[in-house]
């Protein structure tokens, strides 16, 4: 949602709000800010707030989100170590960099948030290194060819990329890797995925695995209570993506007022928010048939993934914004295709 821009931008919180204040009044939504849900009393059908007030419910939707996942890294938690999950995290990073005059940053994680965070601290003027545990960047969204092109682009910007690199400790302004190498770091930022926020649901006695377990109607083990987004575990999966949360919220809202709409999954669509990169990944990144071509010099790559039935199930586009809308529609609708030209 653009939180990384708070690290280097000048507009503070402007533009980060999803809806204007008037929207809530116009749609008869009561919004409680700075208020914690302390407990769910399922027997009484009440949410107990941190202020002591009690809100009765007939149906309840849990959208508690997630926290940053923290791997075991010795020394993490010392001054200069951060995660980037909230606006306050971003502002803390910005403030610390200015306060101590930081010059070097290391970001652990070569996924979407890690790369956006790396670009943000780079824009703030820090020499930046990204540590990626795998053989290429964005392994969930890109194949090896696209990952290599993206790495080259970021390195040309001045961001160092270390692959097959895993941080094990930080001490004395240096991050030590599993292979013994040390990388200088005044700022160490971990972007290693999410941890669903399930404490409230667990205390209420709802079924919890990694996330709050839901069925196809997004109901928890208590049919009056639904869960969506990063907190919800559907068919053993937590995707942790904004479009998933939006679609699940629409389904849950309908079911909370008496509907019976089934959630059938969301085709993941990923865009990287780094200036100069036109990157889109939708659906699967490999399949029975793959139609791909690359132009290294122009940072252009396109790959169409087709299943055994001849239907589009995925696409990777780097430097091809003109194909984004058609490719996304073809994958979402699983259209029969034989070539890129069939999308036009």
Burial 324-336 (b: 16+ CB within 10 A, else e): bebbbebbeebee
Pairing type for strands 46-49 and 54-56 reads: antiparallel
The per-residue pLDDT for range 207-224, each reduced to its tens digit, is 999 999 999 999 999 999
> How many other C-beta atoms can be found within 10 angstroms of the C-beta atom of residue 191?
25
pTM: 0.90
pLDDT of the residue at 11: 65
The per-residue pLDDT for range 289-329, each reduced to its tens digit, is 999 999 877 889 999 999 999 999 999 999 999 999 999 99
pLDDT of the residue at 14: 61
Phi first, then psi: give them for residue 132, nearest 5 degrees: -120, 125
CATH topology of domain 278-343: Enolase-like; domain 1 (3.30.390)
Split at pLDDT 50, 70, 90, the class of 15 is: low
How far, in Å, CA of 88 to CA of 289, rounded?
Answer: 45
Using DSSP's 3-state secondary structure scheme, residue 146 falls into helix
The pLDDT of residue 169 is above 80 = yes
Averaged confidence pLDDT in the chain: 93
How far, in Å, CA of 56 to CA of 40, rounded?
Answer: 10
The per-residue pLDDT for range 55-98, each reduced to its tens digit, is 999 999 999 999 999 889 999 999 999 999 988 999 999 999 99
The pLDDT of residue 344 is above 70 = no
From 14-23, 33-42, 149-158, 230-239, the region with the lowest mean pLDDT? 14-23
The per-residue pLDDT for range 187-203, each reduced to its tens digit, is 999 999 999 999 999 99
The pLDDT of residue 1 is above 60 = no
Domain boundaries of the chain, sorted by first residue: 68-194, 278-343
The per-residue pLDDT for range 248-294, each reduced to its tens digit, is 999 999 999 999 999 999 998 888 877 778 999 999 999 999 999 99
Sign of CA pseudo-dihedral 287, 293, 297, 298? negative
Q: Which residue has the higher pLDDT, 5 or 210?
A: 210
CATH code given to domain 68-194: 3.50.50.60
């Amino acid at each position: 949602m653009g939180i990384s821009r708070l690290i280097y931008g000048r507009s503070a919180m402007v533009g980060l709000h999803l809806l204007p204040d008037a929207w809530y009044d116009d749609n008869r939504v009561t919004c409680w800010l700075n208020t914690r849900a302390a407990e769910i009393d399922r027997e009484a059908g009440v949410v107990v707030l941190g202020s002591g007030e009690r809100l009765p419910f007939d149906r309840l939707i849990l959208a508690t989100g997630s926290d940053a996942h923290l791997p075991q890294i010795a020394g993490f938690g010392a001054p200069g170590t951060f995660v980037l999950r909230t606006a306050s995290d971003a502002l803390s990073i910005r403030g610390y960099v200015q306060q101590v005059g930081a010059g070097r940053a290391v970001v652990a994680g070569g996924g979407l948030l890690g790369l956006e965070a790396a670009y943000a601290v780079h824009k703030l003027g820090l020499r930046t290194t990204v540590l990626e545990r795998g053989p290429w960047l964005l392994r969930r969204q890109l194949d090896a060819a696209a990952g290599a092109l993206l790495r080259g682009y970021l390195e040309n910007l001045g961001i160092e990329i270390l692959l097959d690199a895993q941080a094990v400790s930080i001490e004395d302004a240096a991050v030590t890797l599993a292979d013994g190498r040390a990388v200088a770091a005044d700022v160490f930022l971990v972007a290693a995925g999410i941890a669903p926020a399930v404490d409230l649901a667990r205390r209420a006695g709802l079924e919890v695995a990694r996330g709050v377990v839901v069925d196809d109607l997004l109901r928890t083990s208590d049919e009056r209570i639904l869960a969506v987004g990063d907190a919800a575990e559907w068919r053993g999966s937590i995707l942790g993506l904004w479009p998933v949360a939006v679609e699940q919220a629409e389904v849950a809202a309908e079911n909370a007022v008496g509907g019976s709409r089934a959630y059938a999954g969301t085709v993941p669509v990923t865009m990287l928010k780094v200036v100069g990169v036109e990157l889109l990944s939708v659906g699967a990144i490999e399949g029975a048939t793959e139609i791909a071509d690359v132009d290294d010099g122009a940072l252009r790559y396109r790959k169409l993934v087709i299943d055994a039935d001849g239907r589009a199930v995925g696409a990777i586009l780097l430097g091809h914004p003109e194909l984004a809308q058609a490719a996304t529609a073809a994958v979402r609708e699983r259209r029969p295709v034989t070539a890129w030209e069939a999308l036009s």
